[in-house]
Amino acid sequence: MKSFITLAALFGILSFTSASAIAEEPTSTLVAAPEEARSINSAAAPIISVLVGPNQQLIFDPPYINHVGQGQRIHFDFRAINHTFTESSFEKPCTKIPGAQFDTNFGNFNPDDIPNFKPFDITLESDKPRFFYCKQANRTPNSHCGKGMVFAINVDAWTFEQFQRNAAVDGLPKIKGRAPVVEEDEE
């Protein structure tokens, strides 16, 4: 009888040990689940700051950001000259997209160049690429967008450079005889 109890106790310990090892294995892999990591990263990520027209330059600084997830907050600090933050598309960088979610319009003049005098924050609803521009002097020789004042989210360097090249064309005044002339239908 004594050997039966010892054998049963030993079998129970072995069974318990095997069950514990099996139970621990999935737990360790669940800790690093991709969904949980994305949620934690975007929620805990620091606010990204972008300067708009620093040192009276026609730039967003940085000009683009990548690997930005849903829920990420981006802070825009408008400096000196009056600029806008207006949503556009890759193909037409200097043209406001219909139903644009973001367009600050022209209320950002900061003549004394005071940091955070006219801030504007956005929170991303997705991690898809987004494109923006400054519409100051649009379609004139002094177009901020036409001179490269564009901004993008979740693009690589090559895509951003192409976006800037597109802006150099899209931001020009539409004059007959200048190639390429894009005729826009009026609705």
pLDDT of residue 20: 37
Q: Is 133 helix (H, G, I), strand (E, B) or coil?
A: strand
pLDDT of residue 152: 98
CA proximity to 166, closest of 185, 187, 152: 152
Question: Could you say which residues of the chain have pLDDT below 50?
Answer: 1, 3-40, 181-183, 185-187
Tokens of 120: 């504007």
pLDDT of residue 177: 55
Q: Percentages helix, strand, coil for the chain, rounded to the nearest 5? A: 30, 20, 50
Instruction: Count how many residues are written for the chain.
Output: 187
pLDDT of residue 44: 66
Domain positions in the chain are: 47-170
pLDDT of residue 171: 83
Domain 47-170: assigned CATH number: 2.60.40.420
Q: Is 18 helix (H, G, I), strand (E, B) or coil?
A: helix
**Entry pTM:** 0.71
Quick one: how far is CA 81 from the chain centroid? 24
Beta strands in 62-159 (DSSP E): 64-65, 73-78, 86-88, 119-123, 130-133, 150-153
pLDDT of residue 6: 44
Tokens of 107: 């209320």
pLDDT of residue 173: 80
pLDDT of residue 59: 97
CA proximity to 78, closest of 93, 56, 94, 95: 56
